[in-house]
């Protein structure tokens, strides 16, 4: 009986980690104030995802130095990191101490500015 309870407990723990929810953050290219032309369909070499404890940013190709800034609902900076994408293509930011609510991620590199909104539960 004890053995079946232990196995059931381990199964629940493993199932919870396997089925953890990861959500892609929709990143939108912001208009360049120096370039009044309308935005065209452009390849964005950045993907961002949020799960229960981590904000993950992946660069599909090198874009030089990129600054990742995260703002809370009060527009206060809760995280800021600059990375050289020639050296690293993945950035992981812990969110486990952040309050629940909406956050905005902004990613800047060169003349490109991207923005997305996500929820920390």
Pairwise CA distance, residues 48 & 31, whole Å: 20
Rounded to whole angstroms, what are the CA distances from 32 to 3, 12, 62, 74? 62, 49, 20, 24
Q: Which contiguous run of DSSP H or E holds residue 118?
A: strand 112-120
pLDDT per residue of the chain (121 residues) written in tens, 0 to 9: 444 443 343 334 334 444 468 899 999 888 776 766 665 567 789 999 999 999 999 999 999 999 999 999 999 999 999 999 999 999 999 999 999 999 999 999 999 999 999 999 9
CB 101 within 8 A of CB 119: yes
Which structural domains are found in the chain, ordered by start? 22-120 (2.60.40.3080)
């Amino acid at each position: 009986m004890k053995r079946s309870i232990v196995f059931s407990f381990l199964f629940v723990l493993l199932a919870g980690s396997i089925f953890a929810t990861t959500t892609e953050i929709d990143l939108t290219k912001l208009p360049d104030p120096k370039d009044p032309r309308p935005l065209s369909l452009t390849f964005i070499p950045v993907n961002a995802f949020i799960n229960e404890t981590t904000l993950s940013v992946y660069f599909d190709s090198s874009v030089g130095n990129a600054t990742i800034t995260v703002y809370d609902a009060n527009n206060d900076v809760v995280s800021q990191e600059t990375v050289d994408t020639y050296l690293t293509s993945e950035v992981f930011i812990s969110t486990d101490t952040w309050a629940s609510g909406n956050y905005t991620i902004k990613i800047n590199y060169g003349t490109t500015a991207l923005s997305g909104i996500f929820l920390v539960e």
